[in-house]
């Protein structure tokens, strides 16, 4: 979401639900969960962590593992299309209406994951990975703020960097409270991603495709958070 404009009295605007910590924790947990889901259940590829897929793609090319390289490449391409689709939709929507995009973004992702949960274990992995990579790329392009700071809801390297930078600023600025607050919030986002991956790994190993109902529930909670905040609909 675009950063909100400061109020006339000069004070910073309160963030809408689309950029508050509760929502970012739900989305980050979903991101970690889905990476574990596709890695364990669908051919050792990541749905979201495309840097990991790129590294593995390079290794596969170097070692002549062409079939594996193809499996790494597919989610990368799907992620690209998800980002393209998100920015195309944002371009079509007026600036005033862009806040409303949070709702269909979450709803579509919930539906996709609900459908995946009904598929048998014999169902081909490729379309599942492509669908998950596409909708999570769309999500990451729509939800890209934690309060007024940029963050990523489906990958964690940048969030770790932000946590480390703000923690350094806290030390360097002689216990600056704002920097400590930022470090704590980004640390919580990274922890949520890790917990989501752990739960997703256990659930996928136990029940296969049905495990995708877990992140669908998290996204349902995120949708409720957005619906309860009228500013999301009026941004």
pLDDT tens digit string along 126-155? Answer: 999 999 999 988 888 888 888 888 888 888
Q: How confident is the model at residue 30 (pLDDT cuts 50, 70, 90)?
A: very high
Q: How far apart are CA 174 and CA 157, in angstroms?
A: 26
The model's pTM: 0.85
Q: How confident is the model at residue 48 (pLDDT cuts 50, 70, 90)?
A: confident
Residue 179 covered by a domain: yes
Residue 30 covered by a domain: yes
Number of domains in the chain: 1
Residue 12 covered by a domain: no
Q: How far apart are CA 55 and CA 149, in angstroms?
A: 28
Residue 6 covered by a domain: no
Q: Structural domain of residue 89, as residue ranges?
A: 17-234
Residue 62 covered by a domain: yes
Residue 11, pLDDT score: 39
Taking only the tens place, the pLDDT of each residue in 164-210 is 999 998 888 777 788 889 999 999 999 999 999 999 999 999 999 99
Sign of the Cα torsion 65, 82, 85, 145 reads negative
Cβ atoms of 23 and 45 within 8 Å: the answer is no
Residue 112 covered by a domain: yes
Residue 2 covered by a domain: no
Residue 8 covered by a domain: no
Rounded to the nearest integer, the mean pLDDT of the chain is: 84
118 against 144, higher pLDDT: 118
CATH of the domain at 197: 1.20.1250
Q: How confident is the model at residue 51 (pLDDT cuts 50, 70, 90)?
A: confident
Q: What DSSP assignment string belongs to 161-172?
A: HHHHHHHHHHHH
Q: How far apart are CA 229 and CA 234, in angstroms?
A: 10
Measured CA angle at 124 (ends 123, 125), to 5 deg: 115
């Amino acid at each position: 979401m675009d950063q909100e404009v400061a109020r006339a009295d000069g004070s910073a605007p309160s963030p809408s639900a689309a950029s508050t910590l509760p929502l970012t924790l739900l989305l980050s947990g979903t991101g970690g969960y889905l990476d574990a889901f596709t890695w364990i259940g669908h051919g050792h590829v990541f749905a979201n962590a495309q840097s990991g897929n790129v590294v593995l793609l390079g290794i596969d090319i170097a070692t002549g593992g062409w079939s594996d390289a193809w499996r790494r490449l597919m989610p990368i391409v799907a992620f690209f299309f998800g980002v393209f689709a998100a920015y195309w939709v944002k371009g079509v929507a007026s600036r005033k209406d862009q806040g409303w995009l949070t709702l269909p973004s979450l709803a579509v992702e919930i539906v996709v994951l609900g459908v995946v949960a009904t598929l048998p274990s014999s169902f081909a992995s490729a379309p599942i990975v492509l669908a998950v990579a596409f909708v999570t790329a769309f999500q990451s392009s729509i939800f890209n703020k934690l309060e007024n700071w940029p963050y990523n809801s489906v990958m964690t390297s940048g969030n770790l960097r932000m946590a480390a930078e703000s923690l350094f600023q806290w030390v360097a600025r002689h216990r600056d409270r704002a920097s400590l607050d930022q470090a704590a919030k980004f640390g919580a986002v990274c922890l949520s991603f890790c917990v989501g991956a752990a739960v997703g790994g256990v659930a996928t190993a136990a029940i296969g495709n049905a495990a995708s109902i877990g992140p669908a529930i998290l996204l349902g909670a995120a949708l409720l958070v957005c619906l309860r905040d009228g500013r999301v609909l009026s941004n």
